[in-house]
Amino acid sequence: MSAVENRPVDGGPPVKPVRGRGPSLVTRLLESRRLGWGGLALALAAPLVIATPYALNVMTSAAIFVMLAVGLNIVVGYCGLLDLGYAAFFAVGAYTSGVLATELGLPLLATVPIVVVVTVLAGIVIGAPTLRLRSDYLAIVTLGFGEIIRICANNLEITGGPSGIYGIPGLWGDALGPAGFYYATVLIVALAVLLAARLGRSRLGRAWRFVREDEDAAEAMGVHTYKVKLAAYIGGAIWGGLAGVLFAAQLSAISPASFTFLWSALVLMAVVLGGMGSTPGVVIGAIVISLAPELLRGLADYRFFVFGVLLIMVMIVRPQGLWPHRSRETPHTAARSGEAAE
Amino acid sequence: MTLLQVRDLRLAFGGVQAIDGLSFTVDAGEIVSVIGPNGAGKTSAFNCVTGFYKPTGGSVTLDGAPVTGRRPAKIAGLGVSRTFQNPRLFGELSVLDNVRAGTHLWLKQNVFDALVHTPRYRRSEQEATDEAHRWLDFVGLRGDRAGLVRHLPYGEQRRVEIARALARRPRLLLLDEPAAGLNHGEKGELLDLIRRIRELGTAIALIEHDMGLVMEVSQRVVVLNFGKEIADGPPEQVRQDPAVIEAYLGRDADDAELAAAREEVRGVEG
């Protein structure tokens, strides 16, 4: 391929690539890699401001919710597959670790590898038959699977039926107090956010976006769309399942009532509100969705009404989400390699 | 050496026989044009070759390997790349990301590399970026490469689509009406681009309505009408073929119309 060179076309004007204006200061600040560290520092500093048991509990729930939203973002945001039954994976993770910990007496951390295996299997079992469907049909079927998992938990003996499982140990037995558990959760969730973002910027992550944009064109470029979609589903399942482990550790008791359709809807809302496919957006969306009802407690009976009105207003003002995804071309990648240093 | 062999291809949509016993070959490094009136089955034939349609009969072999009815990604994996009649780009992604799609099949990077950011990850990402720039240079893209592809003008989007197909490093490139909607100057540049692609050693199958372009670049021309092949040969021979002239005009044409049709088939000479 020696003929590859930038030579002007005969008779035409010389070919000169045009580059866009450089990003503004705000854009550079918002896309800085240090932003993630800033967010983590904020989360770690929060207990210094307020550390009542109630506040720690709310903040821990918010962190777990962030992990769920980042996991669903792999499926919905990156790959464009509308999943209305995401709580299913959350439930599979929570129940697997809960059952293993209470029945076999395993420490919770020891259940993690098994949880990963089980959620991957759940992702394959739910994904393999449904991923041949497109858009609306997929949404309906995933909604069905979400309910099936919950109803199974409600009726099986090993899951404790409607009353669920109680007495689940904490992450390190009971060695961590509420503050310790909060810090551990924040660190685990931060790692999960980082890894999900890295997946999004990889060869596989690009393939997911190609599938979202145009399945046929992706297929023509050699992307095996079925396998790639299944990979997104499995990724989402792992993130959701591990969030389930944290959830079980936090509450020490789980029941089918914890995994209703409302959960799936709220996680999806966090992804859409924040900006589909955008990691910082989805993190902020999740924090807003999980903290807003708590902050609105002063309004008593009106709080969910006000919450709903706020969500509708945000979607009218910013339909693309609070922090929409921007294609990531740094000045380094936007320039040819030889010119990158300029 | 025969790269693509299509034998007795048949495709029916319900009762409509879109392709009715089509056979043609493309040799390595050759440029073959497929022409014919609207609805003759040209794009359907391309879709059968690239796996988007499952033919109801006949066979497609690539370099001796049967690929009939396999999924498009598998056929792309064997070194076939294509563009679409209407550009089908990934609109919400950057121009560079669109071309990086072509690197998907050969970029050496797995999930572990991506999660841990191994040196191999950095190397392969740099390689994908360099490759994207290289092919955008090759097609002579004018426009912002970091911006969204849907913000580019139509003619430039066509270039990006060809760059994406080339980044696949194909042995066979199928171009479906690459000149449609291009102005005179852009057609001239496309002609030059097609020649430079052939210099890379890539075989090209081309569907095109612009006869000037077809006669200029093709080594062989295959003419379809009603899903059947009515002529196959070098451009000089095909343009004299009475069956071809008739297909483009119909049987009852008077002499003046026939002369006009000959002009049309002959295209812009010189």
CATH of the domain at B125: 3.40.50.300
- Cβ separation B73–A222 shorter than 8 A: yes
- CB-based contact B152:B129 (threshold 8 Å): no
- CB-based contact B247:B42 (threshold 8 Å): no
B171 three-class SS: coil
What pLDDT score does A338 carry?
A: 47
Answer whether residue A327 shows pLDDT above 50. Answer: yes
Tell me the nearest-neighbour CA distance from A1 into chain B, angstroms: 6
Say how far apart CA A232 and CA A264 lie, in whole Å.
17
Residue A105 banded pLDDT, cuts 50, 70, 90: confident
CA-to-CA dists, residue A44 to A47, A63, A170, A171, B220, angstroms: 7, 11, 20, 18, 70
Quick check: B195 contacting A, CB < 8 Å?
A: no
Say how far apart CA A296 and CA B103 lie, in whole Å.
50
A183 part of a folded domain = yes
In which domain, by residue range, is A63 found? Answer: 51-260
In which domain, by residue range, is B248 found? Answer: 2-266
What's the token pair of residue A52?
A: 């009542």
- Cβ separation B100–A206 shorter than 8 A: yes
- Cβ separation A203–B77 shorter than 8 A: no
CA quadruple B81, B83, B89, B90: dihedral, nearest 10 = -20
> What ipTM did this prediction achieve?
0.90
What pLDDT score does A310 carry?
A: 84
Number of domains in chain B: 1
Angle, helices A279-295 vs A53-72, to 10°: value is 140
In terms of residues, how long is chain B? Answer: 270
- Over residues A246-296, the pLDDT tens digits come to 999 999 999 999 999 999 999 999 999 999 999 999 999 999 999 988 888
A96 part of a folded domain = yes
Say how far apart CA B62 and CA B214 lie, in whole Å.
24
Q: Checking DSSP bridges between strand B80-82 and strand B2-13, what pairing results, if any?
A: unpaired
CA-to-CA dists, residue A249 to A61, A89, A267, B56, B216, angstroms: 11, 16, 20, 57, 72
A133 part of a folded domain = yes
A2 part of a folded domain = no
A8 part of a folded domain = no
Quick check: A131 contacting B, CB < 8 Å?
A: no
* CB interface of A with B, residues 24-63, below 8 Å: none
Quick check: B138 contacting A, CB < 8 Å?
A: yes
Answer whether residue B9 shows pLDDT above 90. Answer: yes
Cβ-Cβ pairs closer than 8 A, A with B, add up to 162
Number of domains in chain A: 1
Say how far apart CA B90 and CA B87 lie, in whole Å.
10
Which amino acid does the sequence have at B61?
T
Residues of B in contact with A216 (CB under 8 A): 52, 72, 84, 88
A197 part of a folded domain = yes
Answer whether residue A144 shows pLDDT above 80. Answer: yes
What's the token pair of residue B178?
A: 């690459």
Burial group, residue A173, by CB count within 10 angstroms (0-12, 13-18, 19+): exposed
Answer whether residue A207 shows pLDDT above 90. Answer: yes
B220 three-class SS: strand
What pLDDT score does A342 carry?
A: 35
Say how far apart CA A75 and CA B258 lie, in whole Å.
59
* C-alpha closest to that of A93 among A141, A142, A153, A183: A153
- Over residues B114-134, the pLDDT tens digits come to 999 999 999 999 999 999 999
Tell me the nearest-neighbour CA distance from A305 into chain B, angstroms: 35
Residue B270 banded pLDDT, cuts 50, 70, 90: very low
What sign for the dihedral angle of Cα B164, A202, A143, A63?
A: negative
In terms of residues, how long is chain A? Answer: 342
What pLDDT score does A11 carry?
A: 40
**Mean pLDDT score, A235-252:** 95
- Cβ separation A220–B121 shorter than 8 A: no
Residues of B in contact with A17 (CB under 8 A): 136-137, 141-143, 145
| Chain A interface mutation, best of B78, B107, B133, B149, highest count of A Cβ atoms under 10 Å | B133
Residues of A in contact with B117 (CB under 8 A): 198
Residues of B in contact with A18 (CB under 8 A): 142-144
Which amino acid does the sequence have at B26?
V
